[in-house]
Amino acid sequence: MEPTENTTNELIVRIESKYSKLSKGQKRLADYVCKNYDKAVFLTAARLGEIVGVSESTVVRFATQLGYKGYPGFQKALEELVRNKLNSIQRMEVTYGRITQSEILETVLHSDIEKIKQTLSAIDHKAFNLAIDTILGAEKIYVIGIRSCAPLASFLSFYLNLVCDDVTTVTTNSSSEIFEQLIRINEKDVIIGISFPRYSMRTLKALEFASNRKAKVITLTDSIHSPMNLYSSCNLIARSDMASIVDSLVAPLSVINALIVALCMKKQKEVVSTLETLEEIWDEYQVYSGDELNPVSGTVSVEQGEEDAGGSEKDE
């Protein structure tokens, strides 16, 4: 067996440790998977067996021999390997090779639905509840997410600010800026790190920094094997898309929504009071326009103050 360069992960380690005890057919499977994991991830057990020249049952036994719960468990391990190894160009090539233009909308939406289902079936409810208690008990909350995860961090921070007193979104133009913003983090605080493949080293370093200063660390990432979990005592796992030029972060956003709702339920009175105050401020400072859509005529009417209307009185 000659595993490809830089492919060491749990699956490869299992194959290497079991290789000498595999049958000839299973060794052929192992060799194919290690050399062609980016292709094997999309194959059914029957198709993989056909390519390698073994029966479907041999493929299933191979997965079981490696310690997985049948072929589906083996496929998930393959997805983990591919998710971490493919670069953006390879992801795009794999995706565009699988679907036609006419199938894109249906395929992508169904994929997102599936990611939410997978997240729901696997998420750790104890970790979720621990995250809520940790956030509520923190003196200050820091949220960090970089690149495609930045909108998730911003969204979470926006709503956390309605529930909690001191929330900071860690901006990430440079590594030095991150540490400058975290300089006062301590054991009374919590940091929430959001990162999905390809994992952000800056996010990881921020979590390491916070952990070294005894702050509590919560992560939102895609796998228990994610490097983000190295410094975390509370791991929220949400499935992200594995082979696409665009990161699918629908499931992580759903988990964030659930967190926000749970926090609001815990602090209902405070949230209602905050929203009432905000409504008064928004009204006083005309934050939102008075645009209204007439559902009957379909026309838009704009309510204007006296100054906006030039101070003229309305016709009787």
Q: pLDDT digit string (tens) for 260-271?
A: 999 999 988 888
Domain edges within the chain: 10-85, 121-270
Q: Does residue 232 surpass a pLDDT of 80?
A: yes
More confident residue, 182 or 288: 182
Tell me if 10-85 shares its fold with 121-270: no
Query: How far are the Cα atoms of 29, 51, 60 from residue 19, in angstroms, in the given order?
Result: 10, 20, 16
Cis peptide, bond prior to residue 198, ω within 30 of zero: yes
Region of poorest pLDDT, from 115-124, 184-193, 222-231, 279-288: 279-288
- Using a pLDDT cut of 70, give the percent of the chain over it: 79
Q: Does residue 7 surpass a pLDDT of 50?
A: no
Contact present, 65 and 30 (Cβ < 8 Å): no
pLDDT at position 92 is: 56
pLDDT band at residue 125 under the 50/70/90 scheme: very high
Q: Average pLDDT, stretch 263-285?
A: 88
Q: How far is Cα 226 from Cα 80, in angstroms, rounded to an integer? A: 9
More confident residue, 121 or 256: 256
More confident residue, 104 or 279: 279
Q: Average pLDDT, stretch 20-34?
A: 90
- Taking Cα atoms as reference points, which of 84, 111, 117, 81 lies closest to residue 99? 111
E strands, the chain, are: 141-145, 167-169, 190-194, 216-221, 234-237, 292-293, 300-301
CATH entry 1.20.1740.10 includes domain 10-85: no
Q: pLDDT digit string (tens) for 187-228?
A: 999 999 999 887 888 999 999 999 999 999 999 999 888 889
Q: Does residue 88 surpass a pLDDT of 70?
A: no
Q: Does residue 307 surpass a pLDDT of 60?
A: no
Q: Average pLDDT, stretch 174-180?
A: 82
pLDDT at position 135 is: 97
More confident residue, 105 or 83: 105
pLDDT at position 231 is: 93
Q: Does residue 115 surpass a pLDDT of 50?
A: yes
Query: How far are the Cα atoms of 220, 226, 305 from residue 40, in angstroms, in the given order?
Result: 28, 22, 65
- Using a pLDDT cut of 90, give the percent of the chain over it: 43
Contact present, 248 and 241 (Cβ < 8 Å): yes
Q: In the predicted model, what is the mean pLDDT of the chain?
A: 82
Q: pLDDT digit string (tens) for 131-157?
A: 999 999 999 999 999 988 999 999 999
Q: How far is Cα 256 from Cα 159, in angstroms, rounded to an integer? A: 10
More confident residue, 191 or 283: 191
Superfamily designation of domain 121-270: Glucose-6-phosphate isomerase like protein; domain 1 (3.40.50.10490)
Q: Does residue 305 surpass a pLDDT of 50?
A: no
Contact present, 247 and 240 (Cβ < 8 Å): yes
Task: Please give the structure tokens belonging to residue 224.
Answer: 């228990």
Beta partners for residue 221, in sequence order: 237
Contact present, 124 and 152 (Cβ < 8 Å): no
Task: Count the neighbouring beta carbons within 10 Å of the beta carbon of residue 112.
Answer: 17
Q: How far is Cα 211 from Cα 85, in angstroms, rounded to an integer? A: 27
- Specify the 3-state DSSP secondary structure of 145: strand
pLDDT at position 137 is: 95
More confident residue, 51 or 282: 51
Query: What is the sign, positive or negative, of the torsion defined by CA atoms of 42, 47, 49, 52?
Result: negative
